[in-house]
Every structure is written in C-alpha cells, then in structure tokens.
Structure 1
Amino acid sequence: MRIVQVGLGGFGRDWAKNVIPQVPEVEVVGTADVFAGSREQAIAAGLTTADRCYPSVEAALEATDPEAVLVTASLVGHVPAARAALESGRHVLIEKPFAPSVAEAKELVALADAQGLTVAVSQNYRFFPAVQAVQQIVAEQTYGDLHAVVLDFRQLSGADGVAGPHHALDEPLLVDMSIHHFDLIRTVLGREVTTVDLRTWDPSWSLFSGPSEGAGLVESGPDLVTSYRASWVSSGLRTTWAGEWRMDFADAEVWWTSRGDGPEGWRSDEVRVRQGGEVATLALPTVARVDRAGSLTEFVTAIQEGREPSISGRNNLGSLATTYASVESARTRQPVQLADWL
C-alpha cells in the first residue's frame, strides 16, 4: 500500500525509523510537515528525501498519489490532515488522540463513511500478548463473571530535572496517557464505559503545567467498576505503560501487566491467576507484530480484506469520549455520563 506520512516531529521520525520498516506491506511514497525544521531534521536523519518531502499534505497527495495517509502530526494537525486525505479519496490512520473533540472525530467518521473509506486510530496498546490473553479470558468467562477491576499506573517523569514537551501540555495525564488505559478498559472488558468520576491534581514541585496525577471510578455499566489511579510523578515502583491490573472474577483473581520499555517491551507482559492459595503464570499468545506496528498492520490488512479494522475511528469514539468526559469530570468534580458525549 502506497502511503504518505504526515508529521515529521520527534514522534513522527520515530514512526519512520522504528515502526514503518516493520510493516513491508506499506511503501512510503511521500512525507509532509508544515514546519521546515521538522522536514530538515527528517531529511538529515535519512528518513526521507528532499524530493519527496512536502510542506503540506495537499502537496504530497497531488505529487505522489498514495492510497492512504498516516497522520503522525501533533494533535492540532490531526483533523486538517485527515480531512484533506479523506476528501481526496485516501484511507487514513491517525495517531491518538483521534481529534481535539468528539464532534470533530464524528465528522471524520461520517466523511470516511460517505467516501467509502477507512479512518482508523493507532491505539497500539491493544497489540500486546497480555492484553489479548486477558481479553479472551473475559470474553470466554474462563473464571466466571468479572465484577471488579483495579488499575494502577505509576511513572516518574522529570526525575532528571529536565522538562520535555509533554510537561507543557494542558492535560498531560488524561489526554496524553490515560487515553491508552481507557481504551484498554473498553477493549479488555468488552463493554462501553457508561460513567466517569475522576479527580486530578498536580504537586507544586512537579515539572508539569497541567494535572499529573489522577484517581477515580470508571463504570462499565451498573455491575462493573474500575478503580483507576494514575501518576506521572510517583516515587513508587514504576509500572509498565499499560499499568498494573487486578481483576476479580467469580472464581479467581487475574493480575496482569503489559508494554514495558523499549522495542521489546512485550517481553514484560505477564498474566498471573490466583485461585485459592495457588498462583499460576499463564502462557501468552504470540502477537506477530506488536505495538504501533500492530496498529499499522491491522489498518492495512483490514483495507485489503474489505472489513472495518478493530481500531476504526468509529470504534475509537468510545475511547475519545471517555477521555474528554474524564477531563470534564475532573474539571467540575462531578460524575459525567458518557451517553451525553456520544
């Protein structure tokens, strides 16, 4: 599949260097970024060439005639780039968060439907062994009904005293990080979130401009609640990026964690089952392509097979709505119903 990559900042260059080469089903025929500095850095790094690097998505589309567009730009560029691609008849894969608002995301889903095209979102945490193993346990009710979930995420960002780009974000926790956890809650539990009731705050000594810690409840219907705590500034033992999960079933407790550091982060995946006094570590499935390579592969494969991808924009509306409803809940210090956002 011929693609154009839009967005060559630090994260976009990481896609170009470490992710796209893992997916031989795609061929990058052009790149684009509105910032000259980003284009120059990508060219200097050997990730693109001057003759196929353009200052706008429109110029890249006209010059290269791709089948699809990969949007790895910052959030502000997601909707304009995706809209231009869809209006020109190209499929789109977008980095998370999908869009700055649920309304804009819905607009892109409707546009893709009207054009007979696919729009998808790279919710890459889904493509890890532990996630898929626990998803199956829940779906098959291996240990009976699931009735309670605890999810804890702990990292210490800025321990070296150096602030990075995400320290300046308005919502560095909920929008930049928790969106992964909310998507996993929906995916693993196999249910839509119905209500969120969260609080966020930031210690005076942190390097963050916005709230770096949060806690609260995420309801998936009246009989299943996830107790959620997350922190970018924890002095405790760090979790993996998917966090530490404890899931209470009728017949067992399942503890699991996923997505460690580095390109082989899947090696940190682990699922343990406690029944009575016995604890067993489960064998995990093999995931051919993990993380973002899994997202890109699912996008391409779904288009080739003529089906809606599991990470479709339509599916992602629930994760995006949960994220922005959580921001609203934290702002108002009140529960928020997801039905009002979808």
Structure 2
Amino acid sequence: MKTLKLILFCCVFLLTNLMYAKPLRLGIAGFTHDHVHQILGRPAKGDVEIVGVAEPNRELAMRYLKRYNLPENLWYPTLEAMIAATKPEAVCAFNSIFEHKQVVEICAPKGIHVMVEKPLAVNTAHAKVMVALAKKHNIQLLTNFETTWYSSHQVAYDLIYGKNALGDIRKVVVHDGHKGPKEIGCSQEFLSWLTDPVMNGGGAVIDFGCYGANLMTWLMKGERPLTVTAVTQQMKPDVYPKVDDEATIILTYPKSQAIIQASWNWPFDRKDMEIYGQKGYVVCDRTLQMRTRLGDGVKRDAVEEKRELTKLSAPYDDPFSYFAAVIKGEIKPEKDLSSLEVNQIVVEILEAAVQSAKTGKAVKL
C-alpha cells in the first residue's frame, strides 16, 4: 500500500512539473507597435511559444514573420480567428493604446490573460472597462514598461524600503524620451497611431510621461497624487501637427513631489531617474549604472559613489518570462510596476495631465 501511494505521489509530482514546464501558449494581437520586435526576435528560452498572430494588415504580418524566420501559418486576420484556431493561454497586445480595450473585451470572457504595452489604456473610461473585465473573468492584465526590467530601479527600491538608506522620499525627477519617433526611424505603421491624439491619447505626454507616472506610483506604493499639473508644447508642429512633443508633469503628494520630463526633443535617448530622500539620493542611470550619495541626514560630507550593477535574474529580467511566471502562479504582481493596481492610477495621472495642459490649472485626484 505504501509503495502504491509513493508511486501515485511521484506520478502527480511529475505531471505537475511537466504542466509547469510546458511553454506558455502565447498569441500576439497587432504588429503596429514597434515593440513587437521584442517578442518576434526573442531567443527561444522554452518558457513561451508563439502559437498565432492577429494582424489585419497581411503584408505587414508577412514581412515581419519572414524577417524573423517564423512560419506564415501563424498569421490570422483577426484576433477572434486566431483565438478560435490556436487556443492561446495568453495574448500580448502590440497595437494602438486605443485598441487595448478591445483586446481585453475579446480575451477576458474566454479566460485568456493579457499583457499590453505601456500605458494600460488611452483614458480612464477605457481603463475602468478593462479592469472590470479582468476582475470579473479572473485574468491577469499586465502592462509592460521597458524600465520595469532595469536593475537600477529595483536596487533603488531596495535602498529605500529594504535598507531605509534614503529616509522618506521628498522629490523624484524622471527624464524619458528621445529625438522624436520620426527622427529615430519608427515604422510608418507605428507613427500612424503614435502621433494621433485619439489612438494614442496625446504625444510625448503619453508616450514618455507614462514611464514617470508608473515609476512614481510604484515608489509611492500605489498612492495617488494629490494634484497633477502639466505643461505641454509643440516645438515641432511641422513634424507632429496633431500632438504635443514636449511635456512636463508635476505630481504632488503630502510630503513629496515628482517632476516628470517627457520629450521628443532630447538630443539623445534617455531613461533615467533621480530620487531624493531625507538622508541621501539615488540616481538611476538607465539599466546597470547607479550613483548614490547616502548619509544620515546630518552629515554634509557624504561622498557620491558610482555603482555598476548586474542584470536582474529570471524571470524578473524579461516581460515575457515574467508574464509566464505570473500566469503559472509563481509571482504575484500586486502593486509592482506591471500590476493592474499601479497602472490604473497611471492612466488617471496621464488623463489629468492632458486636462491640466489644456486648462492651465492643476487637477486634483
């Protein structure tokens, strides 16, 4: 009897391991976001399998599939057709922000998990529908930001909350952007909606303002700001006639403040962040570089130190590995950078920023 029980236990254990070892069956919704190259060109790691792609523009789909040596029979003209034929467990959306809601409306009732590119939604009305559907149908709904996978941000968070090295946060300054999407060579398919005020919700204020809103909400552990104040400009109206290309957003909290500088006018690409606390500061210079100056809040002779960091370990180093781990129950994403709780607030901040820029007044949340 004991031998039989042992055999049964071993069989269950092996079956469970096999189930979790199977790659996540992943579908792709849309090819018009240039970030789609991240998944199409991703080296095979055994954790994710692309089972189908949905893109109404057949020429675009075939061009990309050929470029990455992927079979043409992965292509379907609609998301509904792709889901019916391939039965994915999860879908990654690489279409316009406006279309994120539709992806969730199709996937959620079928129990299919969704990860969208930043930000979560084009406005709060869309976000509320998406959140309600995710909760009703018990799916994971994540938002992918490149900056989530930066070692510097995770180390900074640990310095603040794990080691209490900075004291309370007083000011955060976030710089994000580049020369402009057209200037850096974004595809025409991407530009067609990225520079559209309806499909994208705005210009630089959305495209790069979302990074700072995401990071600050995470650093504040999901706390909403008291006020949102924003100024936007069109420095290149001949290039971007419909949307802003320059934005500054100020968030106020009871005892701290954030300044988010989002631009399509930087001379160089940048994604960096400065965090100032009561006892010191941390400067996150992109992915693996960091500068710190830490004291006790009294000494004035603290010396700035440069730190070279190592890459994050799997599955925290890659959006698709992370997505798979969340779906398998290995990670709980509550209030992290990809979480629904944080990113619903991000959309509220962005919508308030657009409103503030239009009215010239601070918006209270």
- Report TM bin, short chain: 0.7 to 0.9
* Of 251, 269, 272, the match for 2:292: 272
Q: Residues 88-127 of structure 1: CA distance to partner in whole angstroms, max 9, x if unpaired?
A: 2211111122222222222222212221221111123121
Let me know the Cα RMSD of the aligned residues. 2.7
For 2:138, the equivalent position in structure 1 comes to 116
Query: Is the contact made by 2:168 and 2:277 (CA closer than 8 Å) also made in structure 1?
Result: yes
Alpha-carbon distance in structure 2 between the residues aligned to 1:202 and 1:111: 36
Find out whether 1:304 has 2:335 as its counterpart: no
Q: Which moved more, 1:188-197 or 1:113-122?
A: 188-197
Partner of 2:318, secondary structure, is helix
The offset of 1:337, in angstroms, is 1.7
Alpha-carbon distance in structure 2 between the residues aligned to 1:158 and 1:71: 20
Alpha-carbon distance in structure 1 between the residues aligned to 2:306 and 2:355: 39
For 1:218, the equivalent position in structure 2 comes to 251
Alpha-carbon distance in structure 1 between the residues aligned to 2:100 and 2:41: 21
For 2:32, the equivalent position in structure 1 comes to 9
For 2:56, the equivalent position in structure 1 comes to 34
Query: Is the contact made by 1:167 and 1:208 (CA closer than 8 Å) also made in structure 2?
Result: no
Find out whether 1:185 has 2:216 as its counterpart: yes
Alpha-carbon distance in structure 2 between the residues aligned to 1:273 and 1:30: 49
The offset of 1:54, in angstroms, is 0.2
For 1:66, the equivalent position in structure 2 comes to 88
Alpha-carbon distance in structure 1 between the residues aligned to 2:216 and 2:69: 35
Distance 1:22 1:97, change over 3 A: farther
For 2:233, the equivalent position in structure 1 comes to 201
Partner of 2:323, secondary structure, is helix
For 1:261, the equivalent position in structure 2 comes to none
For 1:325, the equivalent position in structure 2 comes to 352
TM-score, normalization by structure 2: 0.79
Query: Is the contact made by 1:31 and 1:48 (CA closer than 8 Å) also made in structure 2?
Result: no
Partner of 2:361, secondary structure, is coil
The offset of 1:59, in angstroms, is 0.5
Partner of 1:305, secondary structure, is coil
For 1:262, the equivalent position in structure 2 comes to none
For 2:309, the equivalent position in structure 1 comes to 284
For 1:139, the equivalent position in structure 2 comes to 161
Alpha-carbon distance in structure 2 between the residues aligned to 1:91 and 1:205: 39
The offset of 1:191, in angstroms, is 4.6
Paired AA for residue 142 in structure 1: A
Query: Is the contact made by 2:142 and 2:339 (CA closer than 8 Å) also made in structure 1?
Result: yes
Q: Which moved more, 1:159-168 or 1:71-80?
A: 159-168
For 2:47, the equivalent position in structure 1 comes to 25
For 1:248, the equivalent position in structure 2 comes to 276
Partner of 1:329, secondary structure, is helix
Paired AA for residue 200 in structure 1: T
Unmatched runs of 5 consecutive residues or more in structure 1:
259-265
Paired AA for residue 224 in structure 1: S
Query: Is the contact made by 1:6 and 1:70 (CA closer than 8 Å) also made in structure 2?
Result: yes
Alpha-carbon distance in structure 2 between the residues aligned to 1:180 and 1:47: 32
Q: Residues 225-253 of structure 1: CA distance to partner in whole angstroms, max 9, x if unpaired?
A: 11333332145xx362x23x333222223
Percentage of pairs with the same residue = 20
Query: Is the contact made by 1:128 and 1:290 (CA closer than 8 Å) also made in structure 2?
Result: no
Q: Residues 252-275 of structure 1: CA distance to partner in whole angstroms, max 9, x if unpaired?
A: 2322221xxxxxxx34x3233254
Alpha-carbon distance in structure 2 between the residues aligned to 1:279 and 1:10: 39
Alpha-carbon distance in structure 2 between the residues aligned to 1:205 and 1:290: 42
Query: Is the contact made by 1:3 and 1:70 (CA closer than 8 Å) also made in structure 2?
Result: yes
Distance 1:83 1:23, change over 3 A: farther
Query: Is the contact made by 1:134 and 1:188 (CA closer than 8 Å) also made in structure 2?
Result: no
Query: Is the contact made by 2:315 and 2:322 (CA closer than 8 Å) also made in structure 1?
Result: no
Find out whether 1:81 has 2:103 as its counterpart: yes
Alpha-carbon distance in structure 1 between the residues aligned to 2:178 and 2:33: 21
**How many equivalent residue pairs?**
323
For 2:179, the equivalent position in structure 1 comes to 156
